[in-house]
Structure 1
Amino acid sequence: MGANLNPVFPALSLASIPPEDEALRAPVRAFLQDYLREMSPDLRARSWLGFDAAFSRALARQGWIGLTLPEEYGGAGRSGFARFVLLEELLTAGAPVTAHWIADRQTAPLILRFGSEAQRQMLIPKIVRGEAFVAIGMSEPDTGSDLASVRTRATRNNHGWLLNGRKVWTTNAHRSHYMIALVRTSGTPEDRHKGLSQVLIDLSLPGVVVRPIQDISGDAHFCEVLFEDVQLTEHALVGNEGDGWKQVTAELAFERSGPERIYSSIVLAQTWLDEFRASGSLHPTAVAIAGRMAGRLAVLRSMSLAVAAKLDKGERPDLEAALVKDLGTEFEQRVPGWIGEALDAAGTLPSAALMRTLAYVMQLSPSYSLRGGTREILRGIIARGLGLR
């Protein structure tokens, strides 16, 4: 038959948040209610794509950036469960967190694990203080999600590394101070995983050009970044030369595993539920849709929490994270359609705020399956992990 018809699925044991970490929820919620009081739902629906550097710095003053990072670098040294609580509150409130999000979520852990001590001392405290925002340089034009075929090249010279190439779909590069980029330091694109390395790039260097890309909603989160003879120092290399593929797959586990992979449409869902309850309607279609969303979200939350528990133990749940991201993206993309169906069935007149929020999420939701790896890439990872290919 060829394929294994009884694959062994990855173990995702149920996990619960310890009381000392759950206690973080109340002060975070109070802070957010005060800070976001005047923000409309269509703006809050941008959530982790909403950029507000002042908000990120305010969060840092509370000690809520770098919760899991070591105290010696300015972090709080807390568990992954504390960070899960924080992220859950930020996302469900629709806080504008994108300024610090990538740096806190994956850059700091990456540098902590693979970077030099000098890189840790230079960058991690800045991230924790909300003073350094970081972009991810992975995708390139004409390569789609095939990261192994990158062409951007860093060549050794007497001053360090000379960088040339292009990156695309780079979130917030036009607002970031640094980029961690996957580049080729030896060989050719046909060598695939061999010869790939990661470099830390100061985006203010000569030869760096950043071009924002406007999406259908009118926002500009994604960017194209061009490098023309950008001179990096010898200390720009992150980890060992040639270990880029191993490092980037570890980094993607952080990117794919968080609750942002299930809560991107949550402000829309909450806004609709609030109006649905206030209307007093018990239309069966709307009730069924509310139950459908609640049931699926409960399962996805349990899965995401289980992945957080694995990360907290220092494990690498690459396969599990891909599963959560794929299923979570499917849920997030269905929410606006379900709510549109419920509104049509109930026949009630929604508020202008709800309609603006629905329109925004409907326009943006196709991009959910691009960020963090396309559905095809994720399902390839899952199939390999289950022994199906």
Structure 2
Amino acid sequence: MWRRQDHHSWIIRGTDLQGNEVREPTKTTNKAAAEALRVKLEKELLDEQVHGKKAVVTWDQAVESYLENGGSPRFLGTFDEETGKWSGLMAELIGVPLRSITQKQMNDIGNKLYAGVLPETLNRQLWTPFIAVWRHAASQEWAEPKMWIRPKTKVKGTKVVRLKPKRVGSYPVEYETAWRFIKGCGVANQTIFTILFYTGLRPIELFVMETTQVNVPDRWITIPKSKIGEGRGVPIHEALVPMLTDMVENRPGKLVRTWENEPFTVYDDNGGQMKKAIAAARLRTHVFDVAPYTARHTVSTELVVRNVHPYKKDQILGHVADDMSRHYTNIPQPPLIEAINTLPTIREWLDQDWMKNPVKLVGRRAQTLKKAEREAGALAFIGWQTKRVA
């Protein structure tokens, strides 16, 4: 070991078994602590030499690589600068070698962090981020591909109906319903919802999208990194051609903007600055079943109704990430373009001026409600909430 003169902390110096130089700061002035770190590092290097990376890579190292490669930090945990400690999944697995993580351990962590929650919540907040990191680690040959057992959301063979209110955005709506709602939005949000309802994009994918990702002539959108870390291509519906042409030609940078023509700020994988506008649109239109994620469920359902092959549907929605689909991320696929064009259109929707000039009209706000309309909307909302809970 060598002691630095400036910060007076110990640094581990030497060579590994391949003759490569090793220089690892210990960040401590305590010689005994530094020596313990040296012994640990030597063991890790030896294990790696004998057994490979799979023997030494820890959960936090896999998470760091996952995030550097575009993975989402959502539900992984947060770091407290004051205490220097992690919360959530990171707190439970930091420093744990991937090879030692077991199904039982993950089940115990789920019971500890999310006791009493619904299976859907446990899947979304624990298993989805965990498996995303694990798949990334497996792709780097740091871990073995493994079939983790998630909690079942429905017991097979039973007819038990769980009595709970449906969460807006978790079920589809008719396109006529979607259009009634969209009419109550300002132009900025009208364009966002229209793109979502005719692509099936995840909202976060749209909020961070650059105009350079949109190839209007070839009817193709390229997503470099999806939720599961893989790139994919998304076909463009013919209804979006005038709108996207204007946006690509006249709006460099982020594709969608707020009514102030500013890019959306993304908080914890969600686009901000829409909640108030959506609430106001619900009161204007008395349509309370539409949220950004509603579009994705609607596109999926409509493609099934229109007999689109499940493989094509999954390709469009980004549910498939096999080797073949990755090869065609940037290459337009006519069968998928044909499939997306089966989604229904409404003439009044297509004829709106903002469908052709969204950039120029982005600042147009939704019309102000009259008092009687506001009161009627409020009463309808109360009735909808009561029915929803019941």
Q: TM-score normalised by the shorter chain: which range applies?
A: under 0.3
Provide the TM-score with structure 2 as the length reference. 0.23
Provide the TM-score with structure 1 as the length reference. 0.23
Determine which structure has more spread, i.e. the larger CA radius of gyration.
2
Higher strand share: 1
Higher helix share: 1
